[in-house]
């Protein structure tokens, strides 16, 4: 588990699945993988209007003109 909240997620799944004798090691590893998948699946629904998402493209209007350096939304390109 990496990225933002990865350390907290590792601690939570460790406490939930590996402490006590409720689950065997094999079951705990499987449940940890399942928890990772369930927590990651909602990210597929993230959509940025200007850049799009995983399943669809951007939803900007046809008349929008985007400069390479800056635009009216305050976005700017730092590296070219």
39 in any annotated domain: yes
Task: Give the Cβ contact number of residue 33 at 10 Å.
Answer: 11
* Alpha-carbon span 22 to 32, nearest angstrom: 14
Position 23 in a domain: yes
| Domain membership of residue 28 as a residue range | 6-53
pLDDT tens digits, 15-24:
988 888 788 9
State the pLDDT at residue 9.
79
Q: Does a structural domain hold residue 70? A: no
| Total of domains in the chain | 1
Does the residue 44 lie in any domain?
yes
Q: Could you give the dihedral angle defined by the CA atoms of residues 67, 68, 72 and 75, in that order, rounded to the nearest 10 degrees?
A: 160
Q: Tell me if 28 is assigned to some domain.
A: yes
Q: CA-CA-CA-CA torsion for 57, 59, 65, 66, nearest 10 degrees?
A: -50
Q: Which of 26-40, 42-56, 59-73 has the lowest mean pLDDT?
A: 59-73
User: Is 32 a member of any domain?
Assistant: yes
Whether this model's pTM surpasses 0.85? no
For residue 27, the model assigns a pLDDT of 92
Sign of the four-CA dihedral 25, 26, 32, 35: negative
């Amino acid at each position: 588990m990496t990225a933002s909240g990865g350390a907290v997620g590792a601690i939570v799944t460790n406490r939930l699945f590996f402490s006590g004798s409720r689950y065997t090691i094999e079951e705990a590893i499987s449940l940890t993988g399942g928890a990772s998948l369930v927590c990651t699946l909602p990210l597929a629904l993230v959509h940025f209007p200007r850049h799009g998402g995983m399943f669809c493209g951007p939803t900007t209007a046809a008349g929008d003109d985007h400069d390479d350096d800056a635009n009216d939304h305050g976005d700017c390109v730092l590296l070219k």
